[in-house]
């Protein structure tokens, strides 16, 4: 790497690849320059959704309207500069467009971590993906590497599809962008969430196309509902939900609505009601099969996200998404970023579709086995999620916690943090069921991730789409298991241990919420009764009445007591309500709320006040934790038995040394 000849080769290769067109988009574009980008964006979008359930729809609309005018270049975000920039926001199709404040917050967060690196165009692309995912839709790997335009094209906003457009006009505008009828129907499915102003469809209620009559393709009952919605809002710009059934969820209900003549905009209903149109069958397919919709939506989003600006347009990485940089970023800076990418040799990403071909029924198999286990042991769910936590916190999510004294190593099960851990027989049963249908395919690490999700979901908690592709470790780390978060821990060491694996205080509070179900042995909290921290007094942060109840329940150190005395077997927000009442079972629970001046106090209050806030953050934090240093690609192996590594020289197709 140090020789001038080698440097020259790299420079020539980079210049050839970058000229005359933009470099190819890649999911790994920021792998070295801003690897934390997805989580930075995810946290801001999640916070936005807490206060504005339309935030996701606003972000994806900005991305659509950006890509349809001069390609995906962030030009939609530029504000007016007299005599220089006539903003696309002034174009009639962008009237009332919202969400710029959310983009500003995302950009500020990203800039604080990775200054001058990530384009606004890429922020729109990844925030759209995250918006869909957080609203219950599919997830996909976003190709990145877009640059931000230094110009806007207000005239080009006429290329945007209008709410009163006929199917012929819609198809032409999509075709002009290289998108076909299937893309048109799939991308229109983003109208499964969000709202529209009544002005964009009110003519359908009474005077469609100046006929003096309602639109004949609008269901009469739905028409009257819309008339009421638009008439009763005390605002100058009344709005109606695109989907009256699940208005904030990304699902296939949009297409069911079209089949029932309940599309909100004319441009929506045209997809189904235009006689002999090829789009009708596509709508029917998506209405019947959500998986088909999600799969095509992902393809069409990636296809749209690849729309490139015309050649010769000056570009940069904007420091402020609303304004071009005062001094254009030099091409050499971009070259340095690109050279970094050349040296990324492996940056595997987990994906939702990893087993789509090799074990498509995996989620169903695991869920069935988890439900069976919970039917016979109500603590099964808590046992499984504890395994996943303790696995990921020690050398990453690699299934190492399951190994029983591997040759040359000491099992993590012997570590202090795993004292009394249970549930291996449940993992064995799940693994056996998976192996019967998909032998040698699914890792034990992925089984823990899926089983944790199902454990939460089955017992009343949130659901999420599990990302797969982890491999199983051939080693264990008992020392690491000794350092797992402890039930006797104060807040600062808890925060440090979470920080050491890339998790913040919000993740700490959210993931601790798994103590809303399950039980703990008395030996882990009985020190709070009478001689807390050697004081000779009870823990002052433990409610006295609750303390007396616990003392009566603890007939010995091995006795187990429910974490939540109110709804012990349901996954809900009561864990946080208990903390507010000084009824956290473990010291490490109560310190989240009772540590004076701690940032965690307000997070606990927020999650105690609204269950959806807890559920949403728990989903995010579980996905984030599940991404801690997984083995991927050719690393590790796929164990045949979760308790032991595959035999050296054993069956082929399973082991990777």
Angle at which helices 444-458 and 362-376 cross, to 10° = 60
234 belongs to a structural domain: yes
555 assigned to a ligand binding site: no
Question: Per-residue pLDDT for 333 more than 80?
Answer: no
Confidence of residue 349 (pLDDT cuts 50, 70, 90): low
Q: Please report which helix (H) or strand (E) contains residue 560, including its range.
A: strand 560-562
366, two tokens:
């695991």
52 belongs to a structural domain: yes
80 assigned to a ligand binding site: no
Model pLDDT, residue 406 = 63
| Strands 519-521 and 560-562, sheet pairing | antiparallel
Question: Per-residue pLDDT for 656 more than 70?
Answer: no
What b-and-e string marks burial along 254-271, b requiring 16 or more CB atoms within 10 Å of the CB?
bbbbbbebbbbbbbbbbb
pLDDT in tens, 489-547: 999 999 999 999 989 999 999 999 999 999 999 999 999 998 898 888 999 999 999 99
131 belongs to a structural domain: yes
Q: Please report which helix (H) or strand (E) contains residue 149, including its range.
A: strand 148-149
C-beta separation of 444 from 472 below 8 A: yes
3 belongs to a structural domain: no
* Phi-psi domain of 280 (left: phi exceeds 0; alpha: psi -120 through 50; beta: other): alpha
Q: Please report which helix (H) or strand (E) contains residue 452, including its range.
A: helix 444-458
Tell me how far apart the alpha carbons of residues 269 and 263 are, in angstroms, rounded to a whole number. 5
Q: Are residues 172 and 256 in the same domain?
A: yes
Q: Are residues 28 and 154 in the same domain?
A: yes
Confidence of residue 308 (pLDDT cuts 50, 70, 90): confident
Q: Are residues 85 and 44 in the same domain?
A: yes
% of the chain beyond a pLDDT of 90: 76
DSSP 73-111: SSGGGPPPBTTTB--GGGSGGGTT---HHHHHHHHHHHH
According to DSSP, the residues that pair with 239 across neighbouring strands are: 197
Q: Are residues 115 and 81 in the same domain?
A: yes
Q: Are residues 396 and 417 in the same domain?
A: yes
Instruction: Mark which of 417, 445, 480 sits at the end of a domain.
Output: 480
Q: Please report which helix (H) or strand (E) contains residue 365, including its range.
A: helix 362-376
Model pLDDT, residue 528 = 94
- Taking CA atoms, 470 is separated from 381, 558, 633, 634, 639, in Å, by 21, 35, 8, 10, 12
572 assigned to a ligand binding site: yes
Tell me how far apart the alpha carbons of residues 17 and 11 are, in angstroms, rounded to a whole number. 10
Q: Are residues 281 and 404 in the same domain?
A: no
Q: Which of 63, 65, 191, 390 is catalytic?
A: 390
378, two tokens:
């109500």
366 assigned to a ligand binding site: no
515 assigned to a ligand binding site: yes
Model pLDDT, residue 95 = 83
Average pLDDT in the chain:
88
What values do phi and psi take at 211, rounded to 5?
-90, -15
Between 578 and 81, residue with greater pLDDT: 578
Q: Comparing C-alpha atoms, which of 452, 443, 431 is closest to residue 383? A: 452
Model pLDDT, residue 531 = 84
Number of domains in the chain: 4
- Taking CA atoms, 106 is separated from 41, 46, 47, 97, 111, in Å, by 6, 11, 11, 18, 9
Question: Per-residue pLDDT for 550 more than 90?
Answer: yes
pLDDT in tens, 7-45: 333 333 333 333 333 457 899 999 999 999 999 999 999
CA 582 to chain centre: 32
Question: Per-residue pLDDT for 289 more than 90?
Answer: yes
59 belongs to a structural domain: yes
Domain span at residue 288 reads 167-297
Model pLDDT, residue 235 = 74
Tell me how far apart the alpha carbons of residues 188 and 367 are, in angstroms, rounded to a whole number. 32
428 assigned to a ligand binding site: no
What values do phi and psi take at 265, rounded to 5?
-95, 155
12 assigned to a ligand binding site: no
Q: Looking at residues 548-563, what average pLDDT do you find?
A: 94
Q: Are residues 174 and 152 in the same domain?
A: no
516 assigned to a ligand binding site: yes
496 belongs to a structural domain: no
According to DSSP, the residues that pair with 562 across neighbouring strands are: 519
DSSP 183-251: HHHHHHGGGGSSEEEGGGTTHHHH-GGGSSS--TTS-HHHHHHHHHHHHH--SSS-EEES-SSSTTS-S
Model pLDDT, residue 347 = 33
Question: Per-residue pLDDT for 647 more than 90?
Answer: no
Burial class (CB in 10 A: 0-12, 13-18, 19+), 232: exposed
Burial class (CB in 10 A: 0-12, 13-18, 19+), 571: buried
390 is known as an active-site residue: yes
**Which region among 56-65, 277-286, 410-419 has the lowest average model confidence (pLDDT)?**
410-419
Q: Are residues 177 and 115 in the same domain?
A: no
Q: Are residues 237 and 186 in the same domain?
A: yes
155 assigned to a ligand binding site: no
C-beta separation of 583 from 544 below 8 A: no
List own/partner pairs for 419-424 with CB under 8 A and 24 or more apart.
420/521, 421/383, 421/386, 421/387, 421/390, 422/379, 422/383, 423/380, 423/383, 423/384, 423/386, 423/387, 424/642, 424/643
CATH number of the domain residue 544 falls in: 1.10.420.10
Model pLDDT, residue 80 = 87
Question: Per-residue pLDDT for 66 more than 60?
Answer: yes
Question: Per-residue pLDDT for 112 more than 90?
Answer: yes
According to DSSP, the residues that pair with 472 across neighbouring strands are: 637
Residues 6+ apart with CB under 8 A from 511: 389, 503, 618, 621, 622, 625
What values do phi and psi take at 635, rounded to 5?
-80, 150
Tell me how far apart the alpha carbons of residues 292 and 282 are, in angstroms, rounded to a whole number. 10
Confidence of residue 601 (pLDDT cuts 50, 70, 90): very high
CB count within 10 Å of CB 642 equals 23
Q: Looking at residues 342-367, what average pLDDT do you find?
A: 75
pLDDT in tens, 229-241: 998 877 778 899 9
The DSSP output letter for 351 is B
Tell me how far apart the alpha carbons of residues 154 and 157 are, in angstroms, rounded to a whole number. 6
564 belongs to a structural domain: yes
Q: Comparing C-alpha atoms, which of 196, 209, 212, 206 is closest to residue 263? A: 196
Confidence of residue 64 (pLDDT cuts 50, 70, 90): very high
Between 107 and 333, residue with greater pLDDT: 107
Confidence of residue 351 (pLDDT cuts 50, 70, 90): confident
491 belongs to a structural domain: no
According to DSSP, the residues that pair with 521 across neighbouring strands are: 560
Q: Are residues 272 and 337 in the same domain?
A: no
564 assigned to a ligand binding site: yes
**Helix (H/G/I), strand (E/B), else coil: 521:** strand
pLDDT in tens, 88-109: 998 888 888 999 999 999 999 9
The DSSP output letter for 637 is B
Q: Are residues 122 and 241 in the same domain?
A: no
The DSSP output letter for 119 is -
Q: Are residues 149 and 172 in the same domain?
A: no
- On the question of a cis peptide bond just before residue 221, with omega within 30 degrees of 0, the verdict is no
**Helix (H/G/I), strand (E/B), else coil: 576:** helix
pLDDT in tens, 186-200: 999 999 999 999 999
């Amino acid at each position: 790497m140090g020789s001038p000849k080698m440097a020259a080769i790299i420079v020539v290769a980079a210049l050839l690849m970058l000229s005359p067109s933009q470099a190819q988009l890649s999911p790994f574009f920021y792998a070295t320059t801003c690897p934390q980008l997805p989580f930075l964006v995810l946290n801001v979008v999640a916070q936005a959704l807490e206060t504005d359930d339309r935030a996701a729809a606003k972000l994806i609309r900005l991305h659509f309207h950006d890509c349809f005018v001069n390609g995906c270049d962030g030009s939609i975000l530029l504000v007016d500069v007299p005599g220089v920039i006539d903003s696309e926001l002034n174009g009639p199709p962008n009237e009332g467009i919202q969400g710029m404040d959310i983009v500003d917050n995302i950009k500020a967060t990203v800039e604080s971590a990775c200054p001058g690196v990530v384009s606004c165009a890429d922020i729109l692309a990844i925030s759209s993906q995250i918006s869909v995912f957080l609203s219950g839709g599919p997830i996909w790997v976003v190709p990145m590497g877009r640059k931000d335009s230094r110009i806007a094209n207000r005239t080009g906003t006429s290329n945007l599809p209008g709410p009163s457009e006929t199917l012929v006009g819609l198809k032409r505008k999509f075709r002009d962008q290289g998108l076909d009828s299937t893309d048109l129907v799939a991308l229109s499915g983003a109208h499964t969430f969000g709202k529209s102003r009544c002005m964009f469809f009110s003519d359908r209620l009474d005077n469609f196309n100046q006929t003096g009559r309602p639109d004949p393709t609008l269901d009469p009952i739905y028409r009257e509902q819309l008339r009421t919605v638009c008439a009763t809002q005390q605002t100058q710009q009344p709005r109606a939900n695109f989907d009256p059934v699940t208005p904030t969820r990304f699902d296939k209900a949009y297409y069911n609505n079209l089949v029932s003549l309940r599309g909100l905009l004319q441009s929506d209903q045209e997809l189904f009601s235009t006689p002999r149109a090829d789009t009708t069958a596509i709508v029917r397919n998506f209405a019947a099969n959500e998986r088909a919709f999600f799969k095509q939506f992902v393809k069409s989003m990636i296809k749209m996200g690849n729309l490139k600006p015309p050649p010769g347009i000056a570009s940069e990485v904007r420091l402020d998404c609303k304004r071009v940089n005062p001094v254009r970023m030099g091409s050499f800076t971009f070259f340095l970023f690109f050279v970094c990418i050349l040296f990324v040799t492996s940056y595997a990403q987990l994906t939702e579709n990893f087993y789509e071909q090799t074990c498509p029924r995996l989620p169903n198999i695991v869920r069935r086995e988890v439900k069976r286990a919970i039917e016979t042991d109500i603590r099964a769910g808590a046992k499984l999620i504890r395994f996943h936590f303790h696995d990921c916190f020690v050398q990453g999510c690699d299934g190492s916690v399951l190994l029983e004294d591997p040759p040359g190593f000491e099992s993590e099960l012997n570590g202090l943090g795993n004292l009394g851990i249970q549930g291996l027989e449940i993992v064995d049963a799940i693994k056996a069921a998976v192996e019967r249908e998909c032998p040698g395919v699914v890792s034990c690490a992925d089984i823990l991730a899926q089983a944790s999700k199902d454990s939460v979901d089955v017992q009343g908690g949130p659901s999420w789409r599990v990302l797969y592709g982890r491999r199983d470790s051939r080693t264990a780390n008992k020392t690491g298991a000794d350092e797992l978060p402890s039930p006797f821990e104060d807040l600062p060491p808890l925060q440090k241990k979470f920080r050491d694996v890339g998790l913040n205080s919000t993740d700490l509070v959210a993931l601790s919420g798994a103590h809303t179900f399950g039980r703990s042995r008395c030996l882990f909290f009985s020190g709070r009764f009478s001689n807390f921290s050697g004081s000779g007094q009870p823990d002052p942060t433990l409610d006295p009445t609750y303390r007396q109840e616990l003392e009566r329940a603890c007939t010995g150190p091995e006795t187990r007591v429910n974490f939540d005395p109110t709804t012990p077997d349901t996954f809900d927000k009561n864990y946080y309500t208990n903390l507010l009442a000084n009824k956290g079972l473990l010291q490490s629970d109560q310190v989240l709320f009772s540590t004076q001046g701690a940032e965690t106090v307000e997070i606990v209050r927020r999650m105690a006040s609204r269950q959806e806030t807890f559920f949403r953050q728990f989903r995010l934090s579980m996905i984030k934790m599940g991404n801690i240093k997984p083995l991927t690609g050719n690393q590790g192996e796929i164990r045949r038995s979760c308790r032991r590594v595959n035999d050296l020289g054993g069956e082929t197709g399973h082991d990777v040394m």
